[in-house]
Chain A
Amino acid sequence: MASNWLLGLLGGALIGAGSALLLVTHGRIAGISGIAGGLVERAAADRAWRLAFLAGLAAAGIAAAAVLPGAIGAPVRSLGAMAVAGLLVGFGARLGDGCTSGHGVCGLSRGSVRSLVAVATFMVTGAITAIVAGRLS
């Protein structure tokens, strides 16, 4: 369990470092839902850096699947439930202007009150949902 905490801290520091790199060089918030949402919504001129960032993210997934079996965990729900979950996450993140990265990592670091409220809200509804779904399945 202690190693989970250390790996969490280390992984978290890397998440912070990747986000910091995007801030310092591109002046952008590393909010994944905002970056992906911009591809769905915006004009082509703004697409290149978003695609490059997401390609890097995907490359990490491909590498992890190759060298660290088990790092990509199996789904905990049915495919139908995963589709519903994805819809809610995509819709909710755009309506609420951010997700775990934009509101969580970047927003909390910046001392944003909106982000603090968003994080508190999705922690509560996430916990309620996980508790209920865990008892039903």
Chain B
Amino acid sequence: MTASARSRVALGIAALAGVTFGAGLVISGMTQPARIVGFLDPLDGWDPSLAFVMAGAVAVYAVAHAAVRRRARPWLDARFELPGRGSVDAPLVAGAAVFGIGWGLGGFCPGPSIVAAAGGSVGAIVFVMAMLAGMHVRHRLAA
């Protein structure tokens, strides 16, 4: 394969990964904010079914992760870009805490918000624009 054909295949597979991921979000109910809020709020007729989403995802991904651990490089790229074993620090906990507040308020996390925005939800479009702005703010503060 030529380099450009190889890079087109790589982009096509990245898009396929995105479609598969997005279809999973839709089928599992993650693109319905009322379901997310119903899962996070156990005092109001708790809907525990979203816990099965994480269980299904982890079950599949853990197998793939175990399978590639000893490989030197991925199929279509020069190297693995995976996070190291860092320690738990204040930015991690503070960031996760802030993220959770936004998640519980809007009922969207990043993936489902992008899927729902593309599906025409005005609330999700507003959410995604604000999310990108929030990422930009974090980037400017870190620079």
Chain A contacts to B: CB under 8 angstroms: 1, 4-30, 32-33, 36-37, 40-41, 48-50, 52-65, 68, 71-77, 79, 81-97, 99-101, 103-110, 112-114, 117-119, 121-131, 133-134
Within 8 A of A (CB), among B95-143: 95-111, 113-124, 126-139
Chain B residues in the interface with A (C-beta under 8 A): 7, 10-37, 40-44, 47, 49-65, 67-68, 73-77, 79-83, 85-88, 91-111, 113-124, 126-139
Secondary structure class of chain A's binding surface, majority of residues? helix
> Whole-angstrom distance between the alpha carbons of A76 and B123 in the complex?
9
With a cutoff of 8 Å between Cβ atoms, the chain B residues found around residue A81 in the complex are 105-106
- Tell whether, in the assembled complex, residue B88 and residue A25 are in contact, meaning their CB atoms are under 8 Å apart: no
Decide: B93 and A88 in contact? CB cutoff 8 A.
no
CB distance from A10 to the nearest CB of B (A): 6
Separation of A127 and B123 alpha carbons in the complex (Å): 21
**Cα-based distance from A105 to B73 in the complex (angstroms):** 21
Question: Knowing A11-B56, A60-B22 touch, does A82 contact B106 (C-beta < 8 A)?
Answer: yes
Once the chains bind, are A9 and B101 in contact (CB under 8 Å)?
no
- Cβ contact of A125, chosen from B44, B75, B87, B97, cutoff 8 A: B97
**Shortest distance from the beta carbon of A17 to any chain B beta carbon, whole Å:** 5
Add 13 more A-B contacts to A25-B75, A28-B77, A75-B124 (CB < 8 A).
A12-B54, A15-B24, A19-B61, A20-B64, A24-B74, A49-B10, A56-B22, A85-B102, A87-B131, A91-B134, A96-B99, A105-B54, A125-B98
The residues of A that contact B22 with a CB separation of less than 8 Å are: 18, 56-61, 64
Cross-chain contact A58 with B115 (CB below 8 angstroms): yes
Contact assessment for A88 and B105 in the assembled complex, using a CB-CB cutoff below 8 Å = yes
Please indicate the chain B residues that have their CB under 8 angstroms from the CB of A41 in the complex. Answer: 135-136, 139
